[in-house]
């Protein structure tokens, strides 16, 4: 039986907020001694087939995946689709639908920032992210990387004494979260619809970081999501403290969900999450998800 450490939640530069190419990630995984990883980019499968080819070259199994941004009970939920048939037309349909709402959301965020007197234009954002809809943290990074932003008194708190910007997630929380001045209502695809589609694209659906501040997944949530086809629960993640990890591990056992491990590594957007920082994942997780995988 194959063994070794796994990380089933890594982002490449095919996500608008990732820094490393699929080839670089496969190389990093090999150097870190991982048996398998999943590149689960936000709402895109653009990392494939390059990621699969890089994995073969480096001797690391790459589990094809994607992290879909969804809505459930008026909350934003992220759903991973490990083992998805990434060339399936239904996957392309999900990507297209999410992209439409992402572009609209990004434009409205920029409009709101400009109304607040923040110096950023849509042309700047579009030029910096021409191929994929920019996430909120991406817009924040584009803004904070501008030299003139360092001279804006409204933005001074987002830079260190050396003039280097702090993680863009700080700006995101201040401006883009629900209730913040540049907030835009979410219009993402429904989680229940994605769970139903997962069975048609061969994926074993896994709920990302259930304890994240924007999800706050409850026992009642999992009870219903299991009925709609949820197969796994990300228990070991950079989002959870020890208490949350224990709670969601028990929930996974209660609902017969595969407990998974994923660092949610991005790079500069999340400098506190180092590559390989989550070591709780074993290859048995990959095997268990593979067994749960429906025939597409």
pLDDT in tens, 50-60: 999 999 999 99
Enter the pTM of the model.
0.90
What is the longest distance spanned by two Cα atoms in the chain?
59
**pLDDT of residue 296 exceeding 60:** no
Question: Tokens 């304890």 label which residue?
Answer: 211
Residue 147 confidence (pLDDT) above 70: yes
Residue 271 burial (CB < 10 Å; 0-12/13-18/19+)?
A: exposed
Domain ranges in the chain? 5-87+187-292, 97-175
Task: Give the confidence band of 33 by pLDDT, cuts at 50, 70, 90.
Answer: very high
For residue range 48-107, what is the model confidence (pLDDT) as tens digits?
A: 999 999 999 999 999 999 999 999 999 999 999 999 999 999 999 999 999 999 999 999
**DSSP E strand stretches across 56-205:** 61-62, 67-72, 75-80, 189-190
If residue 185 lies in a helix (H) or strand (E), which one and from where to where?
none
Average pLDDT (232-239) is 97
Domain topology for 5-87+187-292: TIM Barrel (3.20.20)
Neighbours of 164 (CB within 10 A): 9
Residue 115 scores a pLDDT above 70: yes
């Amino acid at each position: 039986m194959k063994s070794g450490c796994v990380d089933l939640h890594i982002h490449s530069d095919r996500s608008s907020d990732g820094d490393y190419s699929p080839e670089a990630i496969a190389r990093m995984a090999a150097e870190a001694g991982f048996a398998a990883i999943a590149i689960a980019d936000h709402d895109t499968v653009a990392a494939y087939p390059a990621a699969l080819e890089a994995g073969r070259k480096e001797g690391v199994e790459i589990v094809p995946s994607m992290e879909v941004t969804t809505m459930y009970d008026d909350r934003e939920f992220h759903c991973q689709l490990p083992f998805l048939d990434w060339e399936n037309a239904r996957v392309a349909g999900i990507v297209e639908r999410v992209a439409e709402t992402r572009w609209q959301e990004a434009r409205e965020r920029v409009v709101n920032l400009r109304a607040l007197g923040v110096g950023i234009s849509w042309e700047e954002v579009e030029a910096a992210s021409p191929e994929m809809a920019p996430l909120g943290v991406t817009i924040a990074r584009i803004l904070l990387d501008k030299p003139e932003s360092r001279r804006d008194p409204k933005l001074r708190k987002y830079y260190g004494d050396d003039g280097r910007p702090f993680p863009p997630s700080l700006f995101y929380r201040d401006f883009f979260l629900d209730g913040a001045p540049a907030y835009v209502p979410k219009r993402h695809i429904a989680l229940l619809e994605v769970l139903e589609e997962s069975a048609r694209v061969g994926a074993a659906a896994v709920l990302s970081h259930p304890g994240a501040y924007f999800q706050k997944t409850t026992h009642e949530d999992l009870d219903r999501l299991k009925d709609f086809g949820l197969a796994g629960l990300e228990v070991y993640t950079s989002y959870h403290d020890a208490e949350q990890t224990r709670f969601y591990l028990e929930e996974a056992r209660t609902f017969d969900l595969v407990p998974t491990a994923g660092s949610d590594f991005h790079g500069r957007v999340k400098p506190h999450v180092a590559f390989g920082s989550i070591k709780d994942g074993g290859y048995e997780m990959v095997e268990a998800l593979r067994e749960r995988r429906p025939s597409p």
